[in-house]
Each structure stands twice: as structure tokens, then as C-alpha cells.
Structure 1
Amino acid sequence: MGRQPSPLFAPLFLALAIFVAAPAAMAQSEPLTVLVFHRPPYYVVEKGHHFGGFLLDYTKNVLDAARIPFRFEEAPPKRILKTLEEGAMAACAVGWFKTAEREAYARFSDPIFTGSPMGVAVRTDILRTLPHAPTADALLRPGMRLGLRQGFSYGDWLDAKLSEHRHAADLTVAENDQLLEMIARGRIDYTFIGPEEYAWLVSRHPELQKKTRFMALGGVPPETPRHIMCGKNVPPEIITRINEAIRTLPPPVALSNGHGNGRSRP
């Protein structure tokens, strides 16, 4: 038989065991912060504490299936990226493209959604000057005023095109509905936008459909998958559990009303 520890040291061993176990227990009990911003129909944030949209609803189902407690918190895209890059808190974000730059400071889940290829919203009175499916290069020419969403990635392929035309954007704003309004008012000529977003926005603002049109882009590659993106201080075991849950659930469906299956908990 092995030697039993002296009763004198038993309290010491017990205290050490509690000290080692406490951080793990705390980590499991603390909810995972999921940073989101308003971008319907993917993510819908109302008054800072009601969260919906088909990708947020799907993410809620994934985290529930993985038995990971969580809370949604609203933050602008730039702050989300800065938070994950600096590692100030253990946090994740929903529906982001995987890029080489982001892989340096973030972990990515398996793909959660692949939408239709990126397209373009244009002013109706310039339709006659454009081919049926204009290419990005044809649009990124002098004289065509482009508006973009600030601090936003349009996927590797289009980001590379935009980097080749560094002065192409005449205006950057926070929301896509602002861009469509500026197209309708004649302040810009076009913006790049996903078909799901365009359909949702004009369903909510029918007046925009009179002066804007969605067009497919010519020569565009298949759409880039979207992922749950987490900071490197989120343990790999959490990503594993998320991926296991993703494999068990049906894929999300983009709904035109932008609210998915209902509001998720704050």
C-alpha cells in the first residue's frame, strides 16, 4: 500500500485543490460574451438589448446545444475587431469572414452560413449605362461614386479589388440603409451589398426600391463562408464544442423579415 499523507498536511492539500479548481469553475459559470452589431437580416439589435436576426437566432441554438452559457452585447464592427485583437476579454462574434489577418488573433468555428454572392445596388437612372452583370473592375472606374460601410470586410476577393482602387470610395458610413438612401438621393452611384441585405432593406423601405436596383456582379467567385469568430483567449475546447453543435443542427435560413425565429435573450 502507498504511504498516506500525514493528517497534518490534509488541510493544505484541500486548500490547494480548491485553489486549482476555482478558476476552472469560474470560467465555466461565466457566460461567453458574444459581440454583435446591427446588420439586418443577419443580426438585428433593437434598443441595445433585444437581439434577433436569422444568424443570431442560429448562434443561440448552437450555443444552447453546446451547453455554453452566453450573453449578447452590442458593439460596432471596429470595436469588435479591436477587442478580439487586443485580447482584453474572452469574447466571440457572429458571422465574420475568415481572413489571413484575422487568423493571427482569432479562432474560427466551422462555417455557419454561406449566402448568395455579393452584388451591387445602383441608382436606377444609371442602369442603361451598365451591362447586365457589371464586373467590379467596370464599376471601380473614375466618375462612378462608390459608398462603403466603414470598417467592414466584403470578403477577400472584393477587399483585394478595393485595395487596388484605394481612392474609389467617395463615402463611408455605418449602416447599409444609409448607403441606399444616399444612392436614392443621388449622393453616390452604387454600393456593394449582399442580396439578402438588399431584399430586407427594400422590404422595410419600399420607397428605396423606386430609385435603386440590385444587380448581380459579373466574374464574382462563390460567396465566402461566415463563421463564429472568437479571440485567442477563448479556449480551443469551446470552439470544439461549438463545431460539434454546428454539425448536429440544420443550417440557418435567411428570412426576408430579418427577425429569424424570434428574439434571442440578451
Structure 2
Amino acid sequence: MKLTPVLVFVALLPAAHDSAAEPIVLYYNERIPYLETQANGEVGGLTATPARLLFQRAGIAYVWKKAPAGTQVYLIRENREPACLVGWYKNPEREKLGKYTHPIYQGLKTVALTLAGNGKLGNEMTVADLLQKEGAVLLIKEMYSYGQTLDALIRRYQPHTAVATGENINMLHMLIYKRTDYFFIGEEEALELMRRSGYPLKDFKLIRFSEPLYEDPRHLWCSKQVPDSVIEKLDAAIDQAGH
């Protein structure tokens, strides 16, 4: 099944919910354009909308709850309730902690975001050259995965890093205040983040890599308390939407 950076669930019709089943908690944090609380109280976005429509189509009761990304990882690890995180990458370490559905979203290429006036960094580089750039500080998010390929490259080249605990808007402010030089981000997220930042677009530049660096597919990452039967229903709905 090939996913594209558009919502693939729009045509799905809601199925009847099993009212006796305990609702699955869908944890999220505000992360435009993937997850955003809307004016009507619903959660929408590039990963939130497919997830919501997927649960409706599969007839599985759910409830949204907001939590920081680090807390979400802790909750999956603790396995105290049937819960899923929306739009997370898959890696071997995470697979030990929980269960994954089939992909719900495939993003665009990964880019690096920096300031336009940063003379250390060009507009187009290889990932290896960027990670080995002398004097350049990479900002990484605590307990975050950038996809298996990029995670492996960061481990290999071991660039000078700074760690952020907040969301991407906080990371953008760290760029503005020149506490770091760049961070990795999906292209669609970078464009929306710059647009809503309140700063002129000309203040920033995107580094597009000379070799394609595609994002990993994004999944629902669920606690082990989510029954296999629920994962199977969700996967079936995903597969149906992809045909």
C-alpha cells in the first residue's frame, strides 16, 4: 500500500461503536500541522484527522487527551491503560514497549531548519556534511526519534548537540536566540511552523539535502493493553482506505 502526504481517510464512513468497550485514549500534543485542537474542540491535522476517521470507521470508541511528548512515551512504557499515540515513527526499541498499527501517514522529505543569516550552513548539503560541520550545533528533542535512517546517522557522526524539552515552536525560538544552529524537521511542518511563527519568512532558510531523505511512515503507537483485536480492526480499516 502506498501512502501519500494527503489524508487517505476522507472517504471513510463511520461504523457503529461498541459501547461496551473501554474507549482507547488517543494522546496528543499540539504540533502543527499534524495535531491541533480546533475551534469545535475536535483534534485535526495531517495525522490527527486520519486517526479520528480510522477509529470511527473501525467502530472503536476513543477519547482525546493532551500530554507532552515525553509524558506520552512514559505512559506507553508504564502500560497502565489502553492508549495510542498518534503519528509516531516505528523503531525496534519502541516496538518492545508497545504495538504499532500499519502506517497512517507518509510525510514529505526531512529538511534542516536554520536562520537565513547563518553563514556556517549552505542551502543544499549532504546530511553527512551537515552533521560533521565544524562549529554547528544540532538541536535535538529529548526522547525523540527522527526516523531510523537519520537516528543512525546522528549516532554515527555524533555532532555537537543541544537538547530541547519543549515543542517545535520552542526549538524555533532557540534558533532565533542563536542558542543552536539547526534542527531536523519534516518539510510540511517546517513550512507551517515558519508561517505561524510571527517572524518574517525571510529570516529562515531550509536546507534541502542533495540526497533524498524521506520521512519514515507515521503510525499509531499503542500500549500493550490495547487488544490485538483492536489493532487488527484498525489495520483492516487502514488497508481498506489505501485501496
TM-score of the aligned structures, taking structure 2 as reference length: 0.83
Relative to 1, partners in 2 of residues 1:101 and 1:28: Cα closer, same or farther, differing over 3 Å? Answer: farther
What do the CA deviations read for 1:178-201 (whole angstroms, capped 9, x no partner)? Answer: 222222332322111111111111
Amino acid paired to 1:119: V
Amino acid paired to 1:87: N
Kindly indicate whether the alpha-carbon contact (under 8 Å) linking 2:138 and 2:159 is maintained by their aligned counterparts in 1.
no
C-alpha distance in 1, partners of 2:76/2:22?
18
Task: Report what 2:5 is aligned to.
Answer: none
Task: Show the 5 A alignment for 1:167-246.
Answer: 168-246=160-238
Aligned-partner SS, 2:199: helix
1:154 and 2:146 matched: yes
1:91 and 2:80 matched: no
C-alpha distance in 2, partners of 1:165/1:172?
20
Among 33, 47, 62, the residue aligned to 1:55: 47
Shift of 1:234: 0.9
Aligned-partner SS, 1:104: helix
Relative to 1, partners in 2 of residues 1:55 and 1:215: Cα closer, same or farther, differing over 3 Å? Answer: same
C-alpha distance in 2, partners of 1:208/1:149?
24
Q: Highest CA radius of gyration, 1 or 2?
A: 1
Amino acid paired to 1:133: E
Amino acid paired to 1:139: L
C-alpha distance in 2, partners of 1:118/1:91?
28
C-alpha distance in 2, partners of 1:120/1:130?
10
Kindly indicate whether the alpha-carbon contact (under 8 Å) linking 1:37 and 1:75 is maintained by their aligned counterparts in 2.
yes
Seq. identity, %: 28
Structure 1 runs not aligned, ≥5 long? 1-25, 252-266
Aligned-partner SS, 2:103: coil
C-alpha distance in 2, partners of 1:171/1:46?
30
Kindly indicate whether the alpha-carbon contact (under 8 Å) linking 1:183 and 1:212 is maintained by their aligned counterparts in 2.
no
**Greater helix percent: which structure?**
1
Kindly indicate whether the alpha-carbon contact (under 8 Å) linking 1:180 and 1:212 is maintained by their aligned counterparts in 2.
no
C-alpha distance in 1, partners of 2:179/2:137?
8
Task: Report what 2:6 is aligned to.
Answer: none
C-alpha distance in 2, partners of 1:236/1:171?
36
1:111 and 2:122 matched: no
C-alpha distance in 1, partners of 2:137/2:128?
13
Relative to 1, partners in 2 of residues 1:185 and 1:105: Cα closer, same or farther, differing over 3 Å? Answer: closer
1:33 and 2:25 matched: yes
TM-score of the aligned structures, taking structure 1 as reference length: 0.76
Structure 2 runs not aligned, ≥5 long? 1-17
